[in-house]
Amino acid sequence: MTEEEFDAFYATAFPRLTGQLYAFTGDHGEAQDVVQEAFVRAWDRRREFLADGAPEAWIRTVAMRLAVSRWRRARHWLELVRRTPPPEHTPGPDPERTALVAALRTLPEAQRRALVLHHLCDLSVEQVASETGAPVGTVKARLSRGRAALARVLSADSADAAADAADPADEGEREDDRVR
């Protein structure tokens, strides 16, 4: 079978086979995937394909086997998941990390990206420059400005937290002062 013949065969057989596998799997996307995979496998055998006499039957058989294999793999995975108990308790992020993420959100995107790549992903300044497409000097400036802005935001947050933790009696007095 030549490439042109295979292309013509694909164009006519793919919709029909997809419909058949859809009836078998009940999932149109899955049917398309397995039929496509079967055609990929048939492509390597296209020279002797017509000699087999029933190329569509061969592709249908391969697609059905692929669908069954995927179903078995999914079922096995589901059984493993059901046997594995969920963790007792998954701790959330600590308050410092939450504050850092909130502070990072206040920065411009370019500064935030440079800071995350450099400090959290452990990339060098040169690697950050390469990944962002910015000159090294620009990355250094973004890191410097970003660190300064983070320090301001985080120190303001810690000052607010300290004020919140102050004596409750003082809080009442401040509230009374505002009311008067």
Q: How confident is the model at residue 128 (pLDDT cuts 50, 70, 90)?
A: very high
Kindly tell me the burial class for residue 114, based on how many C-beta atoms sit within 10 Å of its own C-beta (0-12, 13-18, 19 or more): buried
Which pLDDT belongs to residue 180?
43
Residue 50: per-residue pLDDT? 57
Dihedral class, residue 53 (left if φ above 0, else alpha if ψ from -120 to 50, else beta): left
Instruction: Please tell me which residue, 77 or 85, carries the higher pLDDT value.
Output: 77
C-alpha–C-alpha distance, residues 35 and 19, integer Å: 10
> What is the band of 129 on the pLDDT scale with cuts at 50, 70, 90?
very high
| DSSP assigned state of 85 | P
Give dist(CA 107, CA 143) in Å, integer.
11
CA distance 14 to 35: 7
Of the chain, the percentage scoring pLDDT greater than 90 comes to: 38
Per-residue pLDDT tens digits for 34-72: 999 999 988 887 777 655 577 888 889 999 999 999 899
